[in-house]
Structures are given as structure tokens and as C-alpha cells.
Structure 1
Amino acid sequence: MSRLRVLSVFPVVLAAAASGAGIAAGCSAEGERFALDRTTGGSANAGGAGGAGGAGAAGDGAGGPTGASEGFGGLINIDGGSTQETPHVEVNPCGSACGPTELCGVDELGVDHDGLDDDCDGEIDETCPCIPGQAHSCFRGDPSFRHSPGCFPGTQLCAETGSWGSCVGGVHADESCHMNDGTGCHPMQTAPLAKVDLKEGTGSFSEDALAGSEVWTVACPPGVDPCPSVGGTDPADDFKPLQSGEYTVTYTKRVAGGETATCAYPLFVGARGLRVELEWEHDRASVDLDLYLHKPNNTQPWTIGGSSVACGYGNCTLDGFLGGSSIRWFDDGATPPEPVNWYLDPEEANNTCFYAPRGVGDAWRANGQGCHNPRLDLDNISCVHRITDPDNPNFCAPENINVDFPPKDGWMRIAVHYFGGTASTDVHPRVKIFCNGELGADLGPTGFYDPEQPVSFLPEDSGDRFWLVADVLFPKPDPGQCGGSNTCIVRPIYQDEAMKTPFLSDSRTMVREFGPAYPSLSGP
């Protein structure tokens, strides 16, 4: 279909590890560890005799739209209440809890140690190399509690020095997360785009609130701008997060006698499969950037708007599919978790396209086929930055491309095109890559140049600039191994590997070329 341009203006979704004490069959708590080096894709000796174990295999099913779900394994009382009974703890099936050595990557048993505090010293992956802009979930303290009720991972970003930064957010073992209960204010989880009732996160803490006194405010993750406002009535406790990540909810109430009390709790937002989110400044002028995803392991040139091998605005929205889009990467008759063309989840909350903002979700639902893989939930051509209601047709919603059930061992390439606009200053695109709810990379503000500088589109780039962002791959698990990674491998694409400069080209070139070859799993 032609495109009208008006430029006037699950947690993180993770399943609990298998329960049971001891070492699972085929696993060893001792012996030399060998790991997949995610900085090159090759094998690297992780070093040391390891008693440290990694988390067990994590599922990729999404939880419901509100409240805590089995996917997160339970709740935590942020107010400090604790249970007197011995809690049920999911035991790491692939090794002992704490060991003498910090381990890196996926070991010979298929256990992914990235983001785990293997030696339980409060620091995570301090000896592990990484590529600037890469990210992963992280969990401090005893790794055995990684999937225990009340415990949630944070996020760790690779700095320009090629080393992992601090673990931000989450609720961890070194905070005794497994010893808390969910009677008071507690963490919640939801899928992107789904409306959540924030009151469910207050538990018993809100029971004595005076009518009309309750107020919720939400702080969004970095880069989410505008941050959606809290809506609803009696009380106003509805929130619609449009992007993945950890949000901070602050609840304030007034009780009999006039006193005011407050608690804060996290809201974890994530979806299954691959989710790529594109953000940029909307407050300086009308700028239209477009997000693209290339067909797995295909190297045909790009097409502006999209083609049979590239998901974009012209063929990957619902209008594109209703208009006869040629995108058919996967089979109609496949059964998840195998990649599937259309998929209608029996649990409506898991059809995340149904909750797309600006009325687009209602159109996906009315179509009756569920969500397409891949898909662009909506195309943001123009918007008004001051609007904070995500259901307003002028809200500055992020563009996001999704593959709910991505193929294994199939490289996919992400790109951004500066379609047009009237900005008189630089525009800075930001791409976040999420794999089964976990942040795999945050590129644009980080990840490029030495020293690090943000990726910039200049005013004169309007209509022509094309940025090849990164390649992403979901590794194929070995059924004979214990555990496996819930995340993906992300490789930023560089124009100059030594200087870590972004791969910036023009649309005239990219409609004739694919760009650099896909990475090799056996080396750089």
C-alpha cells in the first residue's frame, strides 16, 4: 500500500527453573569450564575449576497482562515484611550455588553464566569481556535464587571500555529477595502495550487508604520519552507501558488521622521472542525515522518501505498484511515455539499486538488472526510530544518490530532509515533489542565510537540516511546439555571495527547492497 506522509508537525518474561536439589543428570559442579565467548561467537576457556552454577533453562512464555504471574515465580514485600516459614526455593539444577570463580558465557554443559554472580562477591561478570552497547540481565548473590519467588534480575550494560557496568534494578539474592512475601507493595509484571492495574501491586498496604486519597506516579526506563501518564478513574491507577524495561511505581495514600504513607515497587515489562524498539527525540521538530528487520540468513538488498525480505512500514503493519504483503518468512501450520507466520494465542493477553496504542491494537484484534511474525505494531509518522495519553492518536509511540517465535541459529539484521522531517538540529536514534524480555543491547547513545559518542543524523541527512544497527541471533539449544540461554547474541555493525564507528550509509546504496556479511559463530 502507498504511504501517506504528513510531516506538519515471561520479566522480564522468564519461567522458573526446574525445582529439585542436587545436580541434574549430565551436570557437574566441578571441572574445567569452557564458554561461548559472546564478543566473538567463538569458544573461550572460562577458566578455573568451577563449583559455581548457572541458572537453569528459562522458558519464553509470556505472563498475563497484570499482576504477578507464575513466569516471575512470586512477589516481594517492598515494605520489608518477611515470612517466618522456610520459603520454597528453586534450586539451580546445573551446579552448586556459589563457587570460587566468576564464569563467562555458556559452558560445556549449556549453562549460561552471563549475568550471574558465580562467586557471590556482589560483582557480576567483572572479568568477562563484552562489546560496547551489549546488555544482559544480571542477578547479584547466590545464583540458585535466580528464579525463586520474589527475586527479579536487573540489567547490565557493556561500557565503551569493553567491560560490564553495574547491575541496575531488579531484586536480588543479596537483598534476601527469597525471604520476603507479597502481602504489602510488591513487584508486578506485564507485557508491553497491555494496560495494567497498578493497585494490584500495593497488596494489603492500600487497604486502609481513605477514599479519593490514592495517587500513583510512574518513572519510566531511560530513553522512554514521553513517559505515559497514569489514567483511569476511582482511583486513577491504570497504566499502559509501551516499551520494555523496569518501571518504578510510587504509591501515596492518606489514612485516618490525616497521615500520608508511601511505598515504591517495580513494574517489569517484557515480551517473548524478539522485540526491537526504536526511539528518537520528538520534542524538537517533526522527524520520521523507520525501523527495519531483515529476513533471517538472507542477504538480498534492502527496499525502502519493505520487501519480501525486509519488514518495514510498507509491508509489516496490519494494513500491509491486509493489502497482500509478500512477507511470509515462516509456515502457517507451525506450532510454537517453532517460528509461525500468524499466531493467535488462546490467552488474549499474550497477543501483544492487540494492545498497540493509538487504536491500532483494536484493528489487530478485529482481524481475527492474532499477531503476525514479523510485524511492525504501528508506524509512527508524526506525533505531538506534549501528549502523555498513549491512546491518543497523536501520542509519540515508539516503533517496534516483533518476532514472537524467532528462528534458532538464524541471523537477523536491524536497520533504521531517516525517512524525512524538518529538524534543524541533529537527531539521535536509539535502538533497544530485547530477547524474551531481557535487554540484549542498547545502541545509539552507547556502543559506538572510541571515545564513545551518540549516533547522530544531521539535518541534511533527512530522506537519505540509512543506519545498519546490529545483527541478532537466538542460539539453538543443545538438547543433550543442561540448561541453556534465555537470551540472544547481539553484534553491533561497525563501519570501522577499530574505531567502533556506526555503519552509516545512504538509501541509494542500501537498495543495491545488503551491507557487511553476517557474523560467523566461529570467530569475529
Structure 2
Amino acid sequence: MGRRRFSFSLLIVVGAAVSSAGLAASCSATGPSNQLDSSGAHDTGVGGGGTTGGVDGLGGLLDIDGGREPQGDVVVNSCGSACGDRELCTGATLGLDDDCDGSIDETCACIPGQAHSCFRGDPSFRNSEGCFPGTQICDETGTWGPCVGGVHADENCHMDSGAPCRPMQASPFADVNLKAGTGAFGADAVAGSELWTVDCPDGVDPCPGVAGTDPADDFKPLQSGEYTVTYTKRVASGATQSCQYPLFVSAGGLRVELEWEHDVGDIDLDLHLHKPNNTQPWSMSGSSVDCGFYNCTIDHFSSKGSDIRWFLNSARLPDPVNWYLDPVPGNNGCFNAPRGVGKQWEANGLGCHNPRLDLDNWKCDPTETDPNGVDFCAPENINLDYPPKGQWMRIGVYYYGQGSAKHDIHPRVKIFCDSALGADLGHTGFYSPERPVAFKPTDGHKRFWLVADVLFPEPDECGQAACIVQPLYEDASAMTPLLTTRNDVEASFGPAYPTLP
């Protein structure tokens, strides 16, 4: 076996204090609108106020005097609590519009594939009720792209916007009643006239359909990100009215989602997560240090037996723990997993395991739109609800089987840290000039992609816990992905972990 040359890129730091992307509600008719409560499901009717002067009742806002904190002749923004005099690029300030000029991190270095949440306008409002961050992705030139989606301070997100529909929040796999997003706007709809359509985030394919009857307003998102909901109704006069609002889908801890083409045959890619702070080899047939399809599903934890025991059962949250059963059933994310798998997790009686592979997707029908259907092309995802602090973890993808594929397959891995997109790798982030990572038809049963290392550090002096994502490269200067083989990784872990920051 030949020796491989390994090197690394710059670190990717993801501000975990703000959640995933968003889109401001818009409409084609005017009407009353209220803000979300802390659960995202009820309105509060907060109104008035502005971006200057003291304002009460807006979620404990800081520095509402325009957000400026002068210290001598210099305006600072060390913890993202006010407008400053310059854009800052580290820690709690990453992804914030530090100088409140409408652009974010325009002077900050980044590498392709890097992603983080972003919030425009006065950073004081970032955690206010009714405000949601967007998402920024570093493009192939090493430049931060625009802040896409979100409901921001420069849109007066902290005030009553007057829009008829309102943002919603949900967890992956949760059953969402889209009617809740229409508020009072949907009250005068003629029976049987209401219609909802949903546009999924980039990379979510197939997009689940809207289900239910009278009206059909049930939706089950399986992946994280921002979904755009369009609501149409007919009123008594016969006129048609509509509005549009975002559905933010996210989960805490570490969530890794794997997608690929499902319309070219029965392709089987497998997602793997390596045990933190451990450099033993991987195993495609099961190993206590490698969470994957062979040992990390509910079948293995409930009946077949699994040796994935990375943490203590007696640990106290937020320290990592093998099993955790939340007293509120809806907070156990694995209970809603599709294809009946969630019912298996719930029946097991122990809650959700850390880590876990919610679903092993090896065969599906790309035309199926019901996410609960056994043939729906659900993404593979590995979750670690309570990740350890200060320990590197490694993500890999194995090309298990190519079926009847005659073309290249393009894996896409999204890494979410505490609800924020930390990296979107595979379709971007590699090669110069940039092109997607590809598995060839002849790669089946042998190709293994070492994707990235992830670390959750301790909170900094501002109380922020910034996730660090470091993509792996065979040659960093050429941005080539680290495509190796099953034989290689079952003999050697791969390159050493980076030094701790």
C-alpha cells in the first residue's frame, strides 16, 4: 500500500450562538401580524419601539441607544452587543454585522465550503423575539457570499412588521402544522380553499410534500435549513390572497446530513462518525470507535447489540451521555424519525442514543413525496445531541454499493453545530478550479472519503461556544479532497487530528 500525502486547510469557526438560516415573511395582501413566542408557535403582539432610545419588552435587548459603545475615540464590539467601528472576524463576532453597514465579514478570510449563521444590522437584536439569522457560505474565491435568508435588525425584526404571516420553527423529523404560520390571516379563508406549498433548502431533494386533509397543511421536514412556505386562500368576495413565510428547521448539538443523487439507480452511501479523541482505524463491518450503518441504528441498540458506548450513562447534561430520555416526548428528536424508525426509538424506552444513525438509506424511490413512506429518499444523518467539549471528531463517507449506476455520484455533507450550518462540503469546497467531489462507478465497495474534523470548544469570554470545522485535504494547495479506500482507513485512521486551539 502506497503512502499518502496529507495536509490541512485553515480552521473553520462557526458561531454557535445563532441558529440556522431564515427568510422574512412576505405577502400579497395586508393584514395583522404578530411575533413568535419563545416556542415559535404563538404571537405576542409586541409593537412600537425603534432602533434608537430605550425600549422595554423586546426580549432583554442590550444597548438600544443605536448600539454604540464609545470608549475614548474608538467604538468597540468585542462580544457582538453593539454596533462598532469595524468588522471583526473572531469568536462571538463572526457572522455579525459588527459595524452595522449591511455587509457581514467582508474583510474576513474564509475557505470554500465554510458556512456560518449571519445577522445584519445592530447585533444587539440578534437574540430578540422575531429575529432570525441567515446563512453565509464561503465561495470558491475565498470570499464570504451574501447573507441569505433570515429576519434581521435592518428589517426591524424586533418590531411588529405588519406582515400577515409569521416565521415558524421546528426540529428535523417533527410534524409541523403549517396553519400555525398564517396567524389571523387565515381566519377568513373559505372552507376548502386553503393551499400550502413548500420550497426546500438547497440540497434537499426530494422535497417532502404537504399532506393531510381539510386542509392539507401537515409537513414533515427531514433535514435542517430554511424552508419557504407559500399559503394561498380564497375569501368570501371570491378574491384570492396569499402570503409567504419561513419555516426554520434545526437541532442542537452535532448533526451531520448526507445527500446524493437518488435517480440513477440503487446507490448506497454510508455516513460515519469516528469516536472523539481517538485514532484507532475505522471499520465498515462494525467497531466500537466507528458509528455507522453496522452498529449505530436503533436495531443495534435495542436488539442486535452495539458496542458504541462513548460516554457515561451517569453523566449530567450538558456533558455527553450515552442515553438521554427527555421528560417532554417532543424533545426526543429520534422519536419522530421517518419510516416507523421513530416508533422503535420510543418503544425502546431509553430515549435517544448519542451518537446515533437515525436511518440507513440504501434503497428508495425518488418520486415518492411522503416522508413517512418506506420508499422515500430520506437523507442519512448522524446526531450527537450533547457533543463533548475540546475533543476532535472525524466525519467520513463510504461508497458501499453502486447498484446499476453508470455515472459519477456526488456526495454532499452538511455539518450543523448547535443549529448553525458549519460547513457544506462536496458540491463546493474542493479543487481549483472548483468542482464537486465525485465517486466513480468503479468506486463501489472500496472508496472512502475522509470529509472533515469537528470540535466544540469551551465557551469563550463572551459566553459563546464556537464550533470549529476543518475539512480534510490530500493536497491543501490544490484543495483536493481526501479520497482514500476502505483498505486504507481500516488499516490507519488517516492524518492526525489538528492540535487543540
- TM category, shorter: 0.7 to 0.9
1:279-318 alignment to 2 at 5 Å? 279-318=259-298
Aligned twin of 1:502: 481
Aligned twin of 2:382: 401
Aligned twin of 1:50: none
TM-score by length of structure 1 reads 0.83
Take 2:444 and 2:263, find their aligned partners in 1: how far apart are those partners? 17
1:404-419 alignment to 2 at 5 Å? 404-419=385-400
* Aligned partner of 1:475 among 432, 449, 457: 457
Question: Does residue 1:491 correspond to 2:470, yes or no?
Answer: yes
* Aligned partner of 1:384 among 346, 355, 365: 365
Output the amino acid matched with 1:251: Y
Secondary structure of 1:387's aligned partner: coil
Aligned twin of 1:16: none
Per-residue deviation, residues 318-340 of structure 1 (Å, max 9, x unmatched): 11112110000001011111100
Aligned twin of 1:233: 213
Output the amino acid matched with 1:466: F
Secondary structure of 1:202's aligned partner: helix
Between the two proteins, the alignment pairs up a number of residues equal to 455
Aligned twin of 1:119: 99
Per-residue deviation, residues 233-266 of structure 1 (Å, max 9, x unmatched): 1110000000000000000000011100000000
Change (3 A) 1:41 1:384: closer
Equivalent residues of 2:36, 2:130 under 8 A apart: no
Q: CA deviation at 1:92?
A: 4.0
Take 2:193 and 2:456, find their aligned partners in 1: how far apart are those partners? 47
Q: CA deviation at 1:91?
A: 2.6
Secondary structure of 1:178's aligned partner: coil
Take 1:167 and 1:215, find their aligned partners in 2: how far apart are those partners? 30
Aligned twin of 1:70: 38
Question: Does residue 1:83 correspond to 2:47, yes or no?
Answer: yes
Output the amino acid matched with 2:497: Y
Take 1:264 and 1:95, find their aligned partners in 2: how far apart are those partners? 30
TM-score by length of structure 2 reads 0.87
Equivalent residues of 2:199, 2:229 under 8 A apart: yes
Equivalent residues of 1:278, 1:429 under 8 A apart: yes
Secondary structure of 2:429's aligned partner: coil
Output the amino acid matched with 2:57: H
Take 1:182 and 1:276, find their aligned partners in 2: how far apart are those partners? 37
Aligned twin of 1:105: 90
Q: CA deviation at 1:70?
A: 1.5
Per-residue deviation, residues 99-150 of structure 1 (Å, max 9, x unmatched): 11100112xxxxx111000000100001111121111000001100101111
Take 1:243 and 1:231, find their aligned partners in 2: how far apart are those partners? 17
Aligned CA-pair RMSD: 2.3
Secondary structure of 1:99's aligned partner: coil
Aligned twin of 1:461: 443
Identity of aligned residues (%): 64
Aligned twin of 2:153: 173
Take 2:118 and 2:41, find their aligned partners in 1: how far apart are those partners? 17
Aligned twin of 1:426: 408
Per-residue deviation, residues 411-447 of structure 1 (Å, max 9, x unmatched): 0000000000221001000000001111000000011
Q: CA deviation at 1:41?
A: 7.7
Output the amino acid matched with 2:462: C
Secondary structure of 1:170's aligned partner: coil
Take 1:75 and 1:150, find their aligned partners in 2: how far apart are those partners? 10
Take 1:73 and 1:235, find their aligned partners in 2: how far apart are those partners? 19
Output the amino acid matched with 2:61: V
Per-residue deviation, residues 242-295 of structure 1 (Å, max 9, x unmatched): 000000000000001110000000000000100000000001111000000000
Question: Does residue 1:366 correspond to 2:347, yes or no?
Answer: yes
Output the amino acid matched with 1:70: S
Question: Does residue 1:259 correspond to 2:244, yes or no?
Answer: no
Aligned twin of 2:10: 39
Q: Which runs of 5+ in 1 are unaligned?
A: 1-37, 43-54, 61-66, 107-111
Equivalent residues of 2:395, 2:453 under 8 A apart: yes
Output the amino acid matched with 2:136: Q
Q: CA deviation at 1:352?
A: 0.7
Take 2:319 and 2:113, find their aligned partners in 1: how far apart are those partners? 29
Output the amino acid matched with 1:164: W
Q: Which runs of 5+ in 2 are unaligned?
A: 1-8, 21-34, 50-54, 64-78
Output the amino acid matched with 1:414: I
Equivalent residues of 2:472, 2:481 under 8 A apart: yes
